Amino acid sequence: MRRALLAAFAVVLGCRPSRNEGAFRLRIAVVGPLTAVGPTDEPSASGYAQEWVFDPVLRTASDGSAISGLASRFRFLNSAQVVVELREGARFSDGSPVTTEDVRKSLHESRLEVREQSNGLLIESPSGAAVEPILRHDPIYRRIGNSYFGSGPFRVVSLDPEHLLLRRVVPAPGKIDEVLFLGFPTPRDPFARTLAGDADLLIVSDPKQLEFFQGVARLRIIRGHGANAIAVGMGLHRLSRAARSAIAAALPVANISRLVFGDECPPFPGGGDAKTAIPSKALDLTVIRNDLPLERTALAVARALGPLAREIRFIPVSDVFPLLKGQDFDLVMLRPLVWPPSSAALVWASDSPFNFLGYSNPHVDAALKAGDWARALQALRDDPPVVFICTPERLAVVDSRVKNPQVGPYGYLETLPDWEVVE
Amino acid sequence: MNDGSSRDAMARNLLVLVAGSGLLIALVGLSAIALLRRSAERSAQAALAVIAEQAAGRIGAYLSQQREMLHAVAGLVTGIPEAERRLVQVALDAPSLGRVTLLTARTAADRLPPHLAPADVVAALAGREVASPLYFREDLTPVMDVCVPAGAAPGTAVCATLDLLELQRQVQRIRIGKSGFALAFDSDGRLLAAGAPTLRAAVLTGEPIAESPLASKVARGEPAPAEFRGGLGEDVLAGWARLSEPRWTVVVEEPTREALAAMRNALIALSAVAVAALLFTVALGAAQSRRVLDALEIEERWRTAGRIATGISHDLGHRLAILQSTAALAEANDPAYLPLIRDNLRAEMTTLKKFVGDFADLSREVSPDQFLPLDLNAFAQSVGRAMVAHAEKAGVQIAVVPAADPPWVKGDRYLLERATLNLLSNAIEASPPGGEVSIEVSQQDGVAKLKVTDRGPGIAQERLPRIFDAFKSTKRTGAHVGMGLPNVHRIVTAHGGQTAVESELGKGSTFSIVLPIQPKPT
């Protein structure tokens, strides 16, 4: 009798639903190899997961304003100082609480200082740089050995070059429980596997590529405003301020945008007059190989410049940063971050680690430190390092079972933890 | 009994007639369905082929237009340094031509059209138009390298990377019904564009699909299959079309179930109407037949009554004549006639008693719930003994041959006795003086058999089939209106048994009662 009862008990236990039964796993097809998700690791498609594993102090609302991230409350004293209250009970995925020391270490590389006060944490930039864009951008983490732990809704479960599995730290019924990144060797494979039904989400970089997904009932197309612009970068060492200003004044932005994208990419306001004289020698144009929109932009710029344009030079992606650092170019086609407006502080501030062009303009710096983004942009226009052409939309295709997918206002897929799924 | 058999036969005939008619209608219906299906298939395939031709025409026209555009661009080439510069700009004005470059003998290897075979490069420089297979650029745009001779610059060619996204659009736009689609293949059967979303992965990966081998056959000029299992695992109807240059094929498919859905619905409706009409006809026929059968039964009853009346009037008339002559003898008051008068009266009383008895038997109901177990051996001996006196009077001997193992049956002993006595009585009457009547009991295959055999004159073969029918007696003398054997048959069949007769003229007859055997009661 006792044995029978034990057997029945074992059967009942065996029949209990497992933790993952009915869990919704979203498979994302990307180009690999996949790398560790962390604040300082090399860039790869794993970077899309960073926003779900790590919380920044502040996040970005759809209108571009700063909203609560890890900080439940925040109050700017000035553009370089903010007092924040961390979210009550905030913990890393290993269960340990988020401390002031964690925030301090996480923001150290961005040269921000963190001090405890009676009303919260005072975060400030000793150099007077605007802290808001940094607090939106920098993740708060704790490093233990080679592992990074975040306080975001997901944690990394497993990783190899072809697979990255993330699972929600605290189950949320009706939402995505697991995300599995599938890394493929070529850009063609993520498309093929998504079409074949082996993946549920695909980032689409070119509107033309959506052609493949027309009529695919299993997938829906989502669009959102872009954060990166198509722009023509100008060599700061080779071109004088006068030459850069003349080029910016000469390039017909709206025409170039229309030639390259048709009506798909809203052009930046203003634009130049192709008849403006440019005090410069003939210009070479550099573009990343196989980035068709940038390639067509280069062609359109060359046409606008007329005889002043020399040959178009194609370079691989890996050569872009050395090229920018060496300033070995006249004109280069780029995709700089332009949204939200405060991101200008990341890209154009003299002391920003993300100022890849090495641009330095005291007027811009002063405006950025003052948090006056409009003034900073005007100062940029007066001494232009780039000519902004237009901001293409962000595109993705997502499984139709996801009810409210949307491209994130700042990070491409940062809203994914809030997506609801059909149960 | 005869009436019942007749009605059964009529019912059987009617059933056969209805079944036959139904079968015929079904055969005609099935043939019509097959013909309609084939006809619907052919028209669907013809329509699909037209759509495929139109799609192939549009794709061909698009490619021709791109080539013409490239020829026009190439015609403008005059000086090489200027041409290279200008050709690069063509991509902005004619995006579908992709990157346009000048090909000369001095073009560096890394600047040659990437998918053009070396032999084609040579041919292009020699002034021939050449094209590469379709391939996908890094940005996933389907493209094809095409080179045409440069107009005023011998030994040079203008090459473009034709953007074939339009091919995708053309093919993806084709929708047939709910889930029909088009596919385009190159001459090797590689899928170039797919209207079916789940097959588009094969466009990118180059994996063959179910239609690939068919497409390469069609490209070689072999007959195009119009019905096959498609790449989505479903039977499809298809229409094919070929492009002459490049040798691509376009197939437009529609799932067979969908293509023939309208025809199937029409057939279902038609079949429903036909079945309803058939059922109505059968019901009407059955009702009419019932009325006719009822009328026939009434008529048959009257005929039976007439035969009974004829038999009764014949027999009673005969009896009446004897009684009248006996009465005349009695009126003579001659004592010498008294023995004759006594014998006549006794004989007539016996005859009339049997006559009344036969009628009484006819009216007696057979009730199975009153059946009792019966040892057929003992029963035969009992009946034999009962008839010994009557047999001796006729100078006939009765022999009972029991079965080795007494068979048991279940029945109404009185009725079974009446039936057996009837057979014995007939046998005795049929036997010549000095003859023998045997009662033999046997059992075999779950049935018990009681056979009564005489060595009389026998019965003509033509009478045997209807010998158990009422009022069909072979004896036309004496008190026989033909009620005996029908009554035997009625009693035996009511016991779940059967009757049988074998006879040969001049040798005698054997009547058998066959009853289901029962287990011996414990």
Q: Is A302 on the interface with B (CB under 8 A)?
A: yes
Closest by Cβ to A211, choosing from B99, B165, B175: B165
A314 → chain B, closest CA residue:
B111
The maximal CA–CA distance of chain A, rounded, in angstroms, is 100
| pLDDT tens digits along B461-499 | 888 888 887 655 555 444 455 678 888 898 899 899 999
Q: Is B177 on the interface with A (CB under 8 A)?
A: no
Residue range B168-195: mean pLDDT, rounded: 91
Residue range A394-417: mean pLDDT, rounded: 93
**Is the pLDDT confidence value at B401 over 70?**
yes
pLDDT given at position B1: 42
pLDDT given at position A41: 56
Q: Which residues contact A356 (CB under 8 A, 6 or more apart)?
A: A321, A324, A325, A347
Q: Are strands B498-504 and B227-229 parallel, antiparallel or unpaired?
A: unpaired
Say if residues A162 and A33 touch (Cβ distance below 8 Å).
Answer: yes
Q: Is B161 on the interface with A (CB under 8 A)?
A: no
| pLDDT tens digits along A24-37 | 999 999 998 999 99
CB–CB contact B198 A208 (8 Å): no
Closest by Cβ to A209, choosing from B91, B140, B197: B140
pLDDT given at position B428: 92
**Is the pLDDT confidence value at A3 over 50?**
no
Q: How far is CA A12 from CA A8, A17, B328, in A?
A: 6, 10, 109
A33 prior amide bond cis, ω within 30: yes
Q: Is A400 on the interface with B (CB under 8 A)?
A: no
A309 → chain B, closest CA residue:
B85
CB atoms within 10 A of CB B412: 21
Cα gap A265→B64, rounded to integer Å: 31
Report residue A388: phi and psi, to 5°. -75, 130
Q: What percent of chain A has pLDDT over 90?
A: 61
Q: Regarding predicted confidence, which is higher, B6 or A194?
A: A194
B246 prior amide bond cis, ω within 30: yes
Q: Is B384 on the interface with A (CB under 8 A)?
A: no
Instruction: Give the mean pLDDT of chain A.
Output: 88
Cα gap A314→A293, rounded to integer Å: 13
Using 50, 70 and 90 to split pLDDT, how confident is the model at A42? low
Mind spelling out the 3-state secondary structure of B96-121? HHCCEEEECCCCCHHHCCCCCCHHHH
Q: Regarding predicted confidence, which is higher, A398 or A296?
A: A398
CB atoms within 10 A of CB A393: 16
Residue range A336-355: mean pLDDT, rounded: 89
Using 50, 70 and 90 to split pLDDT, how confident is the model at B8? low
Say if residues B344 and B322 touch (Cβ distance below 8 Å).
Answer: yes
A206 CA: distance to closest CA in chain B (Å):
8
pLDDT given at position A18: 39
B84-98 as b/e: b if 16+ CB within 10 A: bebbbebbeebbbbb
CB–CB contact A290 B138 (8 Å): yes
**Is the pLDDT confidence value at B101 over 50?**
yes
Place of tokens 């409210």: A404
DSSP state of B34: H
Structure tokens that stand for A193 in this block: 């596997």
Give the lowest-confidence range in A71-80, A96-105, B469-478.
B469-478
Burial (CB < 10 A; 0-12, 13-18, 19+), residue B38, is exposed
Supply the DSSP string of A291-334, one letter for each residue.
Answer: -HHHHHHHHHHHHHHGGGEEEEEEE-GGGHHHHHHHT--SEEEE
Query: Measured on CA atoms in the order A54, A60, A66, A72, is the torsion positive or negative?
Result: negative
CB atoms within 10 A of CB A218: 15
pLDDT given at position B471: 57
CB–CB contact B165 A195 (8 Å): no
Cα gap B55→A240, rounded to integer Å: 56
CB–CB contact A191 B140 (8 Å): yes
> Measured between beta carbons, which residues in chain A are less than 8 angstroms from residue B204?
188-189, 191-192, 195, 212
Rg of chain A taking only CA atoms, in angstroms = 24
pLDDT given at position B513: 95
Using 50, 70 and 90 to split pLDDT, how confident is the model at B40? confident
pLDDT given at position B86: 80
| pLDDT tens digits along B218-252 | 999 998 888 999 989 999 999 999 998 888 999 99
Q: How far is CA A139 from CA A76, A78, B43, in A?
A: 19, 22, 65
B94 → chain A, closest CA residue:
A259
Q: Are strands A178-184 and A163-168 parallel, antiparallel or unpaired?
A: antiparallel
B190 CA: distance to closest CA in chain A (Å):
15
Q: Is B118 on the interface with A (CB under 8 A)?
A: no
**Is the pLDDT confidence value at B255 over 50?**
yes
Structure tokens that stand for A356 in this block: 């890849």
Using 50, 70 and 90 to split pLDDT, how confident is the model at B510? very high
**Is the pLDDT confidence value at A51 over 70?**
yes
Which residues 195-224 on chain B approach chain A with CB closer than 8 angstroms?
195, 197-198, 200-205
| pLDDT tens digits along A271-291 | 666 566 777 788 999 998 878
Reduced to 3 states (helix: H, G, I; strand: E, B; else coil), residue A419 is: coil
A340 prior amide bond cis, ω within 30: yes
B336-343: list long-range contacts, CB under 8 Å, 24+ apart: none
A49 CA: distance to closest CA in chain B (Å):
24
Tell me the ipTM for this assembly.
0.75
Say if residues B509 and B459 touch (Cβ distance below 8 Å).
Answer: yes
Structure tokens that stand for A94 in this block: 């290993």
CB atoms within 10 A of CB A60: 25
CB atoms within 10 A of CB B166: 19
A195 → chain B, closest CA residue:
B201
Closest by Cβ to B204, choosing from A188, A214, A300: A188
Residue A233 one-letter amino acid: G
Cα gap A46→A36, rounded to integer Å: 7
The whole-model pTM stands at: 0.68
Residue B106 one-letter amino acid: R
pLDDT given at position B6: 60
Supply the DSSP string of B445-505, one letter for each residue.
Answer: TTEEEEEEE--SS---GGGGGGTTSTT--S--SSS--S-HHHHHHHHHHHTT-EEEEEEET
Using 50, 70 and 90 to split pLDDT, how confident is the model at A6? very low
Q: Is A206 on the interface with B (CB under 8 A)?
A: yes
Closest by Cβ to A215, choosing from B91, B92, B172: B172
**Is the pLDDT confidence value at A140 over 80?**
yes
pLDDT given at position B11: 67
| pLDDT tens digits along B111-169 | 889 899 999 999 999 999 999 998 988 778 889 999 999 877 788 899 999 988 888 88
> Measured between beta carbons, which residues in chain B are less than 8 angstroms from residue A257?
none
pLDDT given at position B396: 93
Residue range A195-223: mean pLDDT, rounded: 90
Structure tokens that stand for B245 in this block: 């240059």
Cα gap B411→B513, rounded to integer Å: 13
Q: Which residues contact A174 (CB under 8 A, 6 or more apart)?
A: A420, A421, A423
Closest by Cβ to B91, choosing from A205, A217, A296: A296
Give the lowest-confidence range in A148-157, A331-340, B317-326.
B317-326
Q: Is A303 on the interface with B (CB under 8 A)?
A: yes
Reduced to 3 states (helix: H, G, I; strand: E, B; else coil), residue B353 is: helix
Max mean pLDDT range (A12-16, A154-158, B240-244):
A154-158
Q: Regarding predicted confidence, which is higher, B340 or B318?
A: B340
pLDDT given at position A298: 93
| pLDDT tens digits along B82-96 | 777 788 888 888 888
**Is the pLDDT confidence value at B305 over 90?**
no
> Measured between beta carbons, which residues in chain A are less than 8 angstroms from residue B165?
208, 211
Cα gap B162→B66, rounded to integer Å: 7
| pLDDT tens digits along B420-466 | 988 998 899 899 999 999 999 999 988 999 999 999 999 988 888 88
Counted across chains A and B, CB pairs separated by less than 8 A come out at 75
pLDDT given at position B5: 59
Residue range A388-409: mean pLDDT, rounded: 94
**Is the pLDDT confidence value at B385 over 60?**
yes
